[in-house]
């Protein structure tokens, strides 16, 4: 489906916890990317995945000269469309930063919505200054070639234990980053608001002292009270 401004705004307004619950009910259970946590607080992003992939470093491939080749992280950054989210398979490697401040500054300049990776970044103070939202496993001073070889972009990857395809949609917030298969975006948009409405009502019931048994999940009696509350709303 087309991710117009209204759709993106709606997706940014849905918590990743809600999205994982909606997808779980559809049998999709492995879509939260392990290790990809916000580098700085306060960001919520949504957009199409722009995938990138690293493999283990090999001495004849992971060289300083490789950074200037056409098939490099630099080339990938220049291919990123505005509004995309770069999703990077770094195999969970934590001793080599895949991106630093210069690459993230260029991504921000190109209008990229954010970076999500199961690896780490470097130049963390400089990255913060670019304003680019980043989800990652942490930070490390060495460059990517110290532990990784970049091999390509816009192909299926694995990031944090999740299969991510270039057409998938990513939503990320304080709880991490979730991949929504392209075919499931409409389902999330249709069902997530009702789930969040129900959970807000349940929270209000908890606040007034109602026991959890029969409330969460709601039994027939609780469901009837919820429907009455919603109708009167």
Residue 64 shares a structural domain with residue 27: yes
User: CB–CB of 122/97 below 8 Å?
Assistant: yes
DSSP letters, 123-152, are: -HHHHHHHT--EEES-B-SSBGGGTEEEEE
Q: Domains in the chain: how many in total?
A: 2
Residue 168 shares a structural domain with residue 191: no
Helix residue ranges per DSSP H, the chain = 5-12, 16-25, 73-79, 101-109, 124-130, 185-207, 220-231
Tokens of 6: 């209204």
Residue 114 shares a structural domain with residue 136: yes
Task: Give the model confidence (pLDDT) of 34-72 as tens digits.
Answer: 999 999 999 999 999 999 999 999 888 767 776 667 779
Distance CA 80, CA 228 (A): 48
Residue 13 confidence (pLDDT): 96
Query: With helix as H, strand as E and coil as C, how does 147-168 read?
Result: CEEEEEECCCEEECCEEECCCC
Which residue range forms the structural domain that includes residue 128? Answer: 5-186
Instruction: Please count the CA atoms within 13 angstroms of the CA of 198 that sit on its side-chain side.
Output: 17
Residue 175 shares a structural domain with residue 192: no
Distance CA 120, CA 36 (A): 9
Residue 124 shares a structural domain with residue 210: no
Residue 55 shares a structural domain with residue 72: yes
Residue 69 shares a structural domain with residue 15: yes
Residue 60 confidence (pLDDT): 83
Residue 58 confidence (pLDDT): 86
Distance CA 188, CA 70 (A): 38
45-56 vs 169-173, strand pairing mode:
antiparallel
Q: How far is CA 75 from CA 94, 103, 152, in A?
A: 23, 11, 9
Residue 147 shares a structural domain with residue 207: no
Three-state DSSP at 42 gives: coil
Q: What CATH number corresponds to the domain at position 89?
A: 3.50.30.40
Three-state DSSP at 80 gives: coil
Residue 115 shares a structural domain with residue 207: no
Residue 181 shares a structural domain with residue 196: no
Residue 48 shares a structural domain with residue 68: yes
pLDDT in tens, the chain (233 residues): 679 999 999 999 999 999 999 999 999 999 999 999 999 999 999 999 999 999 999 888 767 776 667 779 999 999 999 999 999 999 999 999 999 999 999 999 999 999 999 999 999 999 999 999 999 999 999 999 899 999 999 999 999 999 999 989 999 999 999 999 999 999 999 999 999 999 999 999 999 999 999 999 999 999 999 999 999 86
Residue 51 shares a structural domain with residue 111: yes
């Amino acid at each position: 489906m087309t991710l117009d401004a209204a759709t993106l705004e709606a997706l940014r307004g849905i918590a990743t916890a809600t999205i994982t619950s909606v997808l779980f009910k559809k049998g999709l259970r492995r879509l939260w990317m392990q290790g990809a946590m916000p580098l700085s607080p306060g960001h919520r992003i949504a957009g199409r995945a722009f995938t990138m992939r690293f493999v283990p470093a090999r001495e004849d491939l992971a060289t300083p000269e490789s950074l200037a080749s056409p098939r490099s992280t630099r080339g990938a950054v220049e291919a990123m469309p505005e509004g995309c989210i770069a999703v990077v398979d770094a195999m969970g490697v934590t001793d080599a930063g895949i991106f630093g401040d210069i690459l993230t500054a260029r991504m921000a300049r190109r209008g990229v919505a954010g970076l999500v990776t199961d690896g780490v970044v470097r130049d963390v103070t400089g990255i913060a200054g670019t304003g680019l939202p980043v989800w990652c496993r942490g930070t490390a001073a060495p460059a990517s070639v110290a532990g990784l070889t970049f091999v390509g972009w816009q192909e299926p990857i694995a990031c944090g234990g999740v299969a991510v395809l270039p057409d998938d949609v990513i939503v990320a917030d304080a709880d991490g980053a979730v991949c929504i298969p392209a075919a499931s975006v409409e389902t999330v948009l249709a069902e997530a608001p009702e789930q969040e409405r129900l959970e807000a009502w349940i929270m209000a019931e908890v606040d007034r002292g109602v026991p959890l048994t029969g409330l969460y999940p709601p039994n027939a009696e609780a469901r009837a009270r919820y429907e009455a509350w919603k109708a009167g709303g």
